[in-house]
Structure 1
Amino acid sequence: MRKLVASVIKELLLLIRDWGGLAVLFIMPSILIVIVTLIQNSTFKAVGEAKMPIILVDNDKGDIAKIIERDLKSSSFFEIVSSDNGKMLTEHQARTWVSEGKFQIAIIVPAGLSKQINTRVEENVDKILEQFTGEESNQENTEVENQQKWKPQEIVIYFDPAAGQTFRNSVKNTIDKMVAEIESSKVYEIFQEKMDINVAQELSNNSLLSFKEIIAQQGKDAVIPNAVQHNVPAWSLFGIFFIIIPLASNIVKEKNSGTFIRLRTSPVSYTLILTGKIITYSLICLLQFSLMLLIGIFIFPYLGLIPFDTGNRLIEMFIIALCSGLSAIGLGILIGTIARTQEQTAPFAAILVIILAALGGVWVPTFIMPEFMQKISVLTPMNWGLSSFYDIILRNSSLLQVYPNLLFLLSFFILILWLSVFYNNKRNSI
């Protein structure tokens, strides 16, 4: 036991003297978690909570245009801009501003839209009522002429050239739905003039279909996902896996300085040396994770972010962090065992962690990855850890429900550690 404690103290002293390693382990993840969360939180608000300013040019001045403007203002997505310094905007000016990137959308309501739609809807209602009453119209020639003159009105939408196709389709679908509702309401209004008002009013006020949005969660105290709930566990894992760099570097330094040979010639087994490293860096991983939680809980509110809510799942989260840390420690030991110089170790370990983070869903959520990338993602240890955090924090799962991912992490650690011991014994036996 005394030898194990001495081994742990030795590893701690190596870390304390390595200022660059301490910066990688604590300062870099702390800065990243704050910066990335602030950026993603602003993006989420721009898409979901904040209203997007759009230009509305009303060349119609009729009731249809007023309904469109009212519905756009009442929408949770758009903020209407129709004038500049008290002067009404023109189509040319709106198009210029959108092309320059000042606005992403401009909607142009054509002149005569209200009059033409009202006339057309009234004609269609009259035809329907004639079929029920059996009366024949005496204005067939007039109707034919009106049909020949009728041309569908076009509401022009200008988009910023930088706007993506998905964004354009989303906006067009929203406006199409809005216009369809306006057309339906005009039909009901015309029927109100032709039929009994009470009946028509009842028809116009009753909706046949509605939507109810529910977050599919297990239990009643699950947390609704947001940028904070993603970034705290994600960048905590990123920092935990960066432990590979100082761990591998210290192993290489021991080999090159002769320290490792002196340790092997002393009455200390190689297993005890590795155990000392595993215990030391496991404590560092838990300390890292604690720092990330403290930043999410206490620092984020001062930055205008939502505080991180652990949901009374601290024990489960620390177990996941420990299992993830063990898999990172295994990788660090393997790289340090194989590498011969520190010049090889640091860049390779850094690139490996970045690749694992990209594949694991730390930077980009896995559900928006291509299908073949999603299949690759589930084979990475960082994805196992992140998925476990999601299940615990967002889906209110228990450790028994996430045990497959924890088993993968521990199996990965045991396999990598065995490879390290096997390679080390083979090399020393030559």
Structure 2
Amino acid sequence: MHKLLASTYKEFRLLTRDIGGIAILFIMPLVLIVTITIIQDSTFKSVSETKIPILLVDNDKGSVSQTIVKGLEDSNVFEVIEIAIEEDAKNLVFKGKNQLAIIIPKNLSSDLEKKINQNVEGILDKFGLEEEGEDEPKEIFEAKEVKLYFDPATQFSFKSSVKNEVDKMISKIETQSIYNAFQEQLTDDPSEVIFETESFISFKEILQKKKDENIIPNSVQHNVPAWTLFAIFFIIVPLSINIVKEKSQGTFVRLRTNPVSYLTVLGGKTVIYLVVCLIQFVLMLLIGIYLFPAIGLPKLNVSDKLPLLFLVAIFAGLAAIGLGLLLGTIAKTQEQSAPFGATFVVILAALGGVWVPVFIMPEFMQTLSNISPMNWGLNAFYDVFLRNSSLLDIVPEITLLFLFFIITTVIAIVYNEKKNAV
């Protein structure tokens, strides 16, 4: 025990001598999480709160185009700017001046009304409800296209949401037009209601509840666990450099002349860097609780969750430390450990779902993400933050993190023993 405490104290002295390294360990993750959260939150607001200007070329000037314009304005997402010439609208969009232009074709309202009336009359005639008379030749109508011009830099998700919204509005217009046509053919009294045109099917989002209160996830609850995990795993870079430096400077050779096992040396590093991970975690929580509300972002809700959150942070820190110990043991120079460690953390973050949600990855990458310790840690954090899970629910994830720490540490010890065997 005394040897472990001495090794831990040695690591503490080494760490406190490197002020720049401490700044990187603590300040840079805070800057990262604040920057990313502000960017993502403002991006969300730009879609949901700030109105996006779109160009509209109305070649129809009828009831359908009026309904489309009203639907766009009522959505509280778009600011409709009418423009006369389609070519001008296209040029403005393709040059990046506007994100979207909608072109409504000529005679859309009149041709839609004629086509629907013709179809309704045909149906009523089949049922013998239409007055006898000479059959008039059916008029052939050309299909109409509502054109959407998008800025080439526009994200695919925005394109899909706009196309779905426009398609929904047009489908609703067509349905209501069909009902109205039947109404006019079947009754002479305009006040008599035969068909209800209001939507029968609607959607309702059911949120998870706790103590009869809805649990509503926000951008902060998504970003804090993700980037906290990224910061925790980034300690493999200074940890591996520390081990390599000891080997290159001869410190490790002097340690071997003392009756101290490699396990004790690694134990001292584990204790100190686990404390560093927990300090990082606490700072991240304080940022989410106090700084984010002060700059207009949602407040991080950690009520009744702190014990489980600290438990996940401890095991995530152990997993990161195990990886750093292994990398530092295998690497021969700082030039090997630093670039590889930084790149490997980014790869693990990408696989784990920190950069891109796992569910939108290709199937092969989704399978591969299961081997990333960041994915285990992120799922455990999300279980606590967003799914209101209990200790039993996060046991599988923290067990995997602990096994990862044990396996990487054992490999580091075995590799070191074989390398230094006489």
TM-score (norm 2): 0.91
Counterpart CA distance in 1 for 2:273 and 2:319 is 11
Matches within 5 A, 1:17-96: 17-82=17-82, 88-96=83-91
Tell me how far 1:18 sits from its aligned partner. 1.4
Letter in 2 for 1:106: A
**CA deviation string 1:101-152 (max 9, x = no partner):** 22222122233322332333333333444444544443523xx1x514x333
Of 289-298 and 197-206, deviating more is: 197-206
Counterpart CA distance in 1 for 2:142 and 2:6 is 89
Counterpart CA distance in 2 for 1:40 and 1:359 is 20
Counterpart CA distance in 1 for 2:30 and 2:157 is 34
Of 165-174 and 351-360, deviating more is: 165-174
Of 394-403 and 285-294, deviating more is: 394-403
Secondary structure (helix, strand or coil) at the match of 1:201 reads coil
* 1:296 and 2:291 matched: no
Q: Which residue of 1 aligns with 2:110?
A: 115
Of 185-194 and 366-375, deviating more is: 185-194
Match of 1:191 among 139, 161, 182: 182
**CA deviation string 1:356-389 (max 9, x = no partner):** 1121111111111111111111101111101111
Counterpart CA distance in 2 for 1:279 and 1:393 is 26
Q: Which residue of 2 aligns with 1:347?
A: 339
Counterpart CA distance in 2 for 1:138 and 1:394 is 68
Q: Which residue of 2 aligns with 1:85?
A: none
* 1:207 and 2:202 matched: no
RMSD (CA atoms): 2.5
Q: Which residue of 2 aligns with 1:327?
A: 319
Q: Which residue of 2 aligns with 1:275?
A: 267
Letter in 2 for 1:259: T
Q: In 1, are the aligned partners of 2:90 and 2:101 still within 8 Å (CA)? A: yes
Q: In 2, are the aligned partners of 1:223 and 1:309 still within 8 Å (CA)? A: no
Q: Which residue of 1 aligns with 2:414?
A: 422
Counterpart CA distance in 2 for 1:43 and 1:422 is 49
**Can you give the 5+ residue segments of structure 2 that lack an aligned partner in the other structure?**
none
Match of 2:152 among 161, 176, 198: 161
Counterpart CA distance in 2 for 1:195 and 1:4 is 92
Counterpart CA distance in 2 for 1:293 and 1:135 is 73
Task: Count residues with an aligned counterpart.
Answer: 421
Secondary structure (helix, strand or coil) at the match of 1:429 reads coil
Counterpart CA distance in 2 for 1:280 and 1:22 is 12
Letter in 1 for 2:95: E
Q: Go from structure 1 to structure 2 and tell me whether the alpha carbon gap of 1:158 and 1:349 turns closer, same or farther (over 3 Å shift).
A: closer
Tell me how far 1:3 sits from its aligned partner. 3.9
Q: Go from structure 1 to structure 2 and tell me whether the alpha carbon gap of 1:35 and 1:202 turns closer, same or farther (over 3 Å shift).
A: farther
TM-score (norm 1): 0.89
Task: Determine what percentage of the aligned residue pairs are the same residue.
Answer: 51
Structure number with the higher helix fraction is: 1
Counterpart CA distance in 2 for 1:62 and 1:330 is 69
Q: In 2, are the aligned partners of 1:41 and 1:305 still within 8 Å (CA)? A: yes
Letter in 2 for 1:112: N
Tell me how far 1:240 sits from its aligned partner. 0.8
Match of 2:173 among 166, 175, 182: 182
